[in-house]
């Protein structure tokens, strides 16, 4: 546990555009399959590594876009995209999840520490052609966001309600393959509905009345990156009378850097993200937080740091922290995390947590602020980079690239 102390594709034709020295946006290569589709249904135990227990997900196969579960219904689970080879266990209740004829990025999958599929949706549920991209768990545990589209064509952004698999297209063909959206919605219960035929405004975003119909509230925010516009971050706030995309300022002196992987804070007022000048190397990333406002300035959190996520310490007055990765060498880690020597040596990198101070709260006449609490050093959670975030209870981390893992911290 982390709260004992007070502080806390098939190979694409990937575009590597060189703009003012920046590599955009990612250039991972598909990894060779290491096992067949034969499933060992008796292997449900994890192995000890560092200060935790590690579990293989989609054993021996490549996985993309890891996102830790924020839902009590999926404790110790992760959301991910796969490639052509699947090595998971499928319960009888999910017999529609076929292990044969899988295609790259053709399904969203949630699995647990025993490598069992717990939930899924297929590409055919969205569009039927192209691929899915960038799935992320929303701040509301019953929702996720993702993209659907065809490479080198515009992508669309979706919100998906996990409990009934209903979806709403938030943005119609105005996003990109690596826009990696995230969404905010209060945890409160609303009378949610469905929208069979979404309609869009001149900016390509779904109409406010349809957001209200689907979520049961206008309290919805959507943040994304546009790599084609030098990696600028944008957000749209549907609580406003005329919601429209708003650009966020970049860090001073890093106007040519690409900003990506935004995550909205649990209160909905802030975002954390990373910027990079070279997507392929972990040391070229930096992590920031920023208020969701056109006039806000980025707040620096850490250098050589990527894939930041919020964590709220409910055991200590709901103190905010940022969990992030420091990745040694290639950003696309190919290490075998079950090899204890990799963790003990720190060869792959580490996952750290940095405590914040201040308040996110906004009330009439007062605007809160957040910044690093430098009276506390950043703590190392594990000497392995886990890029998919941390569970609300502070126990579980996840990551993926050549291999995928869940980690339960001791």
* Least confident span in 20-24, 210-214, 401-405: 20-24
Average pLDDT score over residue span 141-150: 97
Confidence of residue 48 (pLDDT cuts 50, 70, 90): confident
Q: For residue 325, list its beta bridge partners.
A: 306, 351
State the pLDDT at residue 154: 96
Q: How confident is the model at residue 115 (pLDDT cuts 50, 70, 90)?
A: very high
- The dihedral built from the CA positions of residue 66, 79, 234 and 357, taken in this order, carries a sign that is negative
Confidence of residue 16 (pLDDT cuts 50, 70, 90): very low
pTM attached to this predicted model = 0.89
Per-residue pLDDT of 370-398, as tens digits, reads 999 999 999 999 999 999 999 999 999 99
Candidate from 48-57, 217-226, 388-397 with smallest mean pLDDT: 48-57
Q: CATH code at 123?
A: 2.120.10.30
The separation between CA 26 and the C-alpha centre of its own chain, rounded to angstroms, equals: 15
> Greater confidence, 121 or 368?
121
DSSP reduced 3-state for 227: helix
Question: Could you report the per-residue pLDDT of 282-300, keeping only the tens digit for each?
Answer: 999 999 999 999 999 999 9
Among the listed ranges 10-19, 233-242, 313-322, which one has the minimum average pLDDT value?
Answer: 10-19
The average pLDDT across 58-83 equals 97
Mean pLDDT of the 153-171 span: 97
Please check whether residue 333 lies inside any domain of the structure. yes
- Judged by average pLDDT, the poorest of 164-168, 233-237, 357-361 is 357-361
Band (pLDDT 50/70/90 cuts) for residue 167 is very high
Q: Is residue 11 part of a domain?
A: no
Question: Between residues 373 and 47, which one has the greater pLDDT?
Answer: 373
Do residues 139 and 129 lie in contact, with contact meaning Cβ atoms separated by under 8 Å?
Answer: no
The domain in which residue 337 lies consists of: 17-409
- Examine residue 348 and state whether it is found in any structural domain, yes or no: yes
Residue 338 included in any domain: yes
At 360 the pLDDT is 74
Specify if 2 maps to a domain: no
Nearest in space to 63 (alpha carbons), one of 399, 333, 401, 307: 401
What is the band of 326 on the pLDDT scale with cuts at 50, 70, 90?
Answer: very high
How many domains are there within the chain? 1
| pLDDT score at 49 | 81
Q: Name the percent of the chain in helix, strand, coil, to the closest 5.
A: 5, 40, 50
At 253-265, the pLDDT tens digits run 999 999 999 999 9
Does the residue 254 lie in any domain? yes
pLDDT at 26: 46
pLDDT at 45: 61
The beta-strand segments (E) located in 45-165 are: 47-49, 52-57, 63-68, 78-82, 107-111, 117-122, 131-137, 143-149, 155-161
pLDDT band at 118 (very low <50, low <70, confident <90, very high): very high
pLDDT (average), residues 345-362: 92
Per-residue pLDDT averaged across 202-215, rounded? 98
Q: What is the DSSP letter of 210?
A: H
* Residue 44 predicted with pLDDT over 50: no
- pLDDT value at 43 more than 90: no
- pLDDT for residue 6: 33
Residue 19 has pLDDT above 60, yes or no: no
Residue 4 lies in a domain: no
- Domain assignment of residue 342, yes or no: yes
């Amino acid at each position: 546990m982390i709260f004992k102390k007070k502080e806390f594709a098939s190979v694409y034709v990937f575009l590597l555009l060189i703009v003012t020295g920046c590599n955009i946006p990612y250039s991972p290569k598909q990894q060779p399959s290491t096992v067949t589709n034969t499933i060992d249904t008796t292997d449900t135990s994890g192995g000890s590594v560092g200060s935790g227990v590690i579990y293989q997900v989609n054993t021996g196969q490549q996985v993309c876009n890891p996102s830790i579960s924020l839902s009590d219904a999926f404790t110790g689970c992760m959301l991910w995209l796969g490639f052509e080879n699947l090595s998971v266990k499928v319960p009888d209740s999910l017999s529609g999840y076929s292990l044969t004829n899988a295609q790259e990025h053709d399904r969203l999958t949630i699995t647990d520490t025993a490598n069992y599929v717990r939930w899924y949706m297929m590409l055919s549920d969205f569009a039927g052609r192209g691929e899915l991209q960038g799935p992320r768990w929303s701040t509301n545990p019953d929702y996720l966001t993702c993209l659907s589209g065809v490479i080198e064509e515009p992508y669309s952004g979706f919100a998906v309600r996990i409990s009934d698999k209903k979806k709403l297209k938030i943005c119609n063909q105005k996003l990109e393959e690596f826009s990696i959206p995230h969404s905010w919605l209060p945890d409160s219960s609303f009378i949610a509905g469905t929208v069979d035929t979404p309609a869009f405004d001149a900016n390509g975003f779904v109409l406010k009345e349809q957001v209200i119909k689907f979520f049961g509230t206008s309290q919805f925010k959507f943040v994304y990156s546009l790599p084609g516009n030098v990696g600028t971050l944008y957000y749209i706030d549907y609580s406003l009378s005329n919601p429209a995309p708003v650009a966020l300022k970049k860090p001073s002196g890093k106007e040519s850097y690409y900003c990506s992987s935004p995550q909205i804070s649990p209160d909905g007022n802030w975002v954390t993200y990373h910027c990079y000048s070279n997507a392929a190397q972990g040391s070229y990333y930096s992590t920031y937080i920023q208020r969701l406002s056109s006039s806000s300035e980025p707040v620096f959190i850490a250098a050589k740091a990527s894939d930041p996520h919020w964590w709220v310490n409910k055991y200590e007055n709901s103190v905010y922290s940022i969990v992030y990765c420091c990745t040694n060498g290639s950003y696309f880690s190919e290490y075998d995390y079950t090899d204890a020597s990799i963790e003990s040596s720190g060869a792959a990198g580490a996952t750290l947590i940095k405590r914040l101070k201040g308040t996110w709260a906004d009330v009439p006449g007062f605007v809160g602020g957040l910044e690093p609490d430098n009276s506390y050093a950043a703590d190392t959670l594990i000497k392995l980079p886990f890029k998919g975030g941390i569970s609300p209870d502070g126990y579980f981390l996840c990551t993926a690239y050549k291999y995928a893992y869940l980690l339960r911290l001791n």
